[in-house]
Amino acid sequence: MRIIVGVSGATGVVMSLYLLKALKSFKDCEVHLVVSDCARKTWELETNYPFEKLVEQADYYYDVHNLAAAISSGSYQTDGMIILPCSMKTLSGVVNGFTDNLLIRAADVCMKENRKVILCTREMPLGKVHLRNMMAAADLGCTIIPPMLTFYNGPNTLDDQINHVVGKILMQFGLDYKNFVPWHGAD
């Protein structure tokens, strides 16, 4: 399996580290990473980790301005793309085909090739423009997975919440994440 991970500048960039670590745990999963300029800044503001900790989890890392990268072409086979977190600016770029950087271009390629595109939109409250763009993305075939809190699985930590989101994302690719606690029903 070959998956592209895009990280945009919305809050919650540390979730991308959890996602990359999870993907790395799957033996036959090749990860291609592209990070926006704003995401790098948000990384510095929100985490105590060096940026290299994120990059080292990927098999391939691309500069967001390199529109000649392999993932910018539909002839380069992938299974799809995950953008976590997905800022409202990136969402708008994806919906409108405004491919001014590699992150949005890679999503555009996946959409035109009918590959999975998972957008983990991050904002609240959601305005009408955000909702309209999410609906447009869904209409274009994207799956919207906002990183929302969950309680049915008995989370005790922020790690538990993030692992739930990562598990929901990976389910879209048929991957069972060991740190995901699904609902088992009630008596």
pLDDT number for residue 187: 86
pLDDT digits (tens, 9 = 90+) for 38-59: 999 999 999 999 999 999 999 9
CATH class of 2-173: alpha beta
Specify the pTM: 0.97
- Provide CB contacts within 8 A for 100, sequence distance 6+: 93
* DSSP 8-state symbol, 114: T
Regions of the chain where pLDDT drops below 70: none
On whether 36 is known to bind a ligand per the annotation, the reply is yes
Q: Is 41 known to sit in a ligand binding site?
A: no
Residues 6+ apart with CB under 8 A from 162: 14, 15, 18, 147
Q: Would you kindly state where each structural domain of the chain is located, as residue ranges?
A: 2-173
9 is in an annotated binding site: yes
The verdict on whether residue 185 carries a ligand-binding annotation is no
Does 154 carry a binding-site annotation? no
Is 168 among the annotated ligand-binding positions?
yes
Report the pLDDT value the prediction gives residue 116, as an integer from 0 to 100: 98
Task: Confirm or deny that 186 is annotated as ligand binding.
Answer: no
For residue 91, the model assigns a pLDDT of 98
The candidate with the shortest Cα–Cα distance to 8, out of 41, 49, 32, is 41
